[in-house]
Chain A
Amino acid sequence: MARVPVTNPLARLHAAPPVTLRVIILVIASIFLMLVDNRTQQLEKLRATLHTFVYPVIFLSTIPGDVFDTINRSLLKRNNLSEENERLKQENLYYKSRFEKLYALEADNERLKRLLGQSDDIAEQVLLAELVEVSLEPFTQQIVLNKGTADNVYVGQPVINGEGVIGQVVHASYIQCIVTLLTDPDSAIPVMVMRNGLRGIMQGTGVRDRLNLPYLTPDADIVVGDLLISSGMGGRFPPGYPVATITSIDRNPSQEFLKIGATPVARLDHGREVLLIWPGEDELSSPPAATDGPSEDVLAAPEAAGER
């Protein structure tokens, strides 16, 4: 009868396949981590710590890309350095003249706002950051920058380049941060049509250079070619930065909402330098009133605005 040798319970515990037990524990741990990481910011610290731990490897990984880039650029330099110089000079002159005008306008604007009793501090701090040549998960629209919490970079911080909004910081470690581009499917940014102040939310699609503007009803006053700027709603992106231009509007009468496609103003895959912005305090606390042009009553009569 007693074919099974009698052992003490501890020994029997050892006899159970330890790998199976461990795999169950670790799978549960992984799922728990994912849940917490998805819902909260609690794990940013752990992530930053581990990042410092793997940083040497990441640093080594950047070398081939950097070398490739340097060779590429030095070849380019030899060819059209003078040409580029000429172009930059012209651009500089152009922007300087624009800036002079802007300076006067800003002073004007400030004065008018003071008359209205609004204090609006547009002073934003910016910091130049450079792209780090490290590959991330394939098929994500993210980039790595060489600035981290050491430079006061924070999660949710807006990132722009010379042309317009690029995206926002999603993870920040001590020395680097990861930025989600506008085109990432998880990315959304509150925007408004510059022409008339019509507001919406711009979403990424995961496809390069392709954005969606959902939830606009068929009577919305919007046309192909409209420039969308950040509206400042939601308190993350400061208002007024160019985001995208409308490329297609699908007015299907059987659909409740318009199907609107857009492309980002900033070329997301060009250039190595971007700017991190620290929006001014006031700007985020009182966003819509400051930049909203015409309000609801204009939007209610789109025909009138369109025919003009």
Chain B
Amino acid sequence: MLSVLGSFPLFMTVLIALFLTGVTLPEPFIPFWPDWIVLVLIYWGMARPGRVSVLFGWLLGLLVDVMHGSLLGQNALALTIIGYIVNMLHLRMRMFPLLQQSFFIVFLVAIHLGISAWVRGITGDFPITLMYWMPALVSGIIWPVLFVMLRDVRRSGLKH
């Protein structure tokens, strides 16, 4: 029972991340939209490594693939690998100061974008522009705020 209640913030935030991924923005703003899915996956991967790691990432990735209409397995692959990295390093990442975490987040989101671009490059013609990497930077910038918010959400979930 406790685990169900404890999981509520986790699933709510994942749903919100999926929601934010689906929201349409005016064309010029699209590159500046953070990679919500990866951010949420990283946070929970750090906070609850026993529950959120590779399988969680893979399933989440499949859902993103379906939502995005991308090749089935493309986001799943990327999120599995990100889940794995976070799972291996979660103890160290918790010790990082927020700024250093932010840099690491830029790197992880870039992995996501890189794998997507790689898959799309293999299966078709995909021109990569500099703007393509923008979400990684924006995600890193927004991370400290998001981290504090998610931590509060998690703690409020634990009290019940």
Contact = CB atoms under 8 A, between A and B. Distances in A.
A142 B73 contact: no
6 closest A-B pairs by CB: A61-B22, A33-B73, A30-B77, A185-B125, A34-B73, A30-B73
Interface string B72-87: 1110110011011001
Nearest to A170: B69
B123 interface: yes
Contacts of B81: 23, 27
Chain B contact residues: over half helix, strand or loop, or mixed? helix
Contact of B73 (A32, A50, A53): A32
Contact of B68 (A19, A26, A62, A137): A137
A37 B100 CA distance: 38
Interface of A: 19-20, 22-23, 26-27, 29-34, 36-38, 43, 46-47, 50-51, 53-54, 57-58, 60-62, 64-65, 133-140, 142, 144, 170-171, 178, 185-186, 205-207, 269
17 contacts: A19-B54, A19-B87, A23-B81, A29-B73, A30-B73, A30-B76, A37-B71, A38-B71, A43-B72, A50-B62, A57-B22, A64-B23, A64-B24, A133-B24, A135-B21, A140-B69, A140-B70
Contacts of B83: 23
Contact of A206 (B23, B62, B127): B127
Given A23-B84, A135-B30, A47 B73 contact: no
B69 A30 contact: no
Interface string B13-33: 001001111111101001101
Nearest to A25: B54
Contacts of B123: 34, 38, 186
Q: How large is the interface on B (under 10, 10 to 19, 20 to 34, 35 or more residues)?
A: 35 or more
A19 B88 contact: yes
Contacts of A19: 53-54, 84, 87-88
B57 to A, nearest CB: 8
Contacts of A34: 71-74, 77, 119, 123
B80 to A, nearest CB: 5
A54 B77 contact: no
A50 B77 contact: no
A265 B84 CA distance: 47
Contact of B72 (A22, A33, A139, A140): A33
Nearest to B72: A37
A43 B55 CA distance: 20
Given A33-B76, A61-B19, 19 more contacts: A22-B54, A23-B83, A26-B58, A27-B81, A30-B74, A34-B73, A36-B72, A38-B123, A46-B72, A47-B72, A53-B66, A60-B22, A61-B23, A134-B67, A137-B69, A140-B70, A170-B69, A178-B69, A205-B127
A3 to B, nearest CB: 27
Interface in B21-52: 21-25, 27, 30-31, 33
A275 B89 CA distance: 51
Contacts of A133: 24
Contacts of B129: 139
A185 B30 CA distance: 19
B30 A142 contact: no
B66 A51 contact: yes
A171 B23 contact: no
A62 B63 CA distance: 17
B109 to A, nearest CB: 12
Nearest to A38: B123
A134 B22 contact: yes
B97 interface: no
B80 A30 contact: yes
B54 A26 contact: yes
B80 A23 contact: yes
Contacts of B33: 135, 138
Contacts of B23: 61, 64-65, 135
A47 B25 CA distance: 25
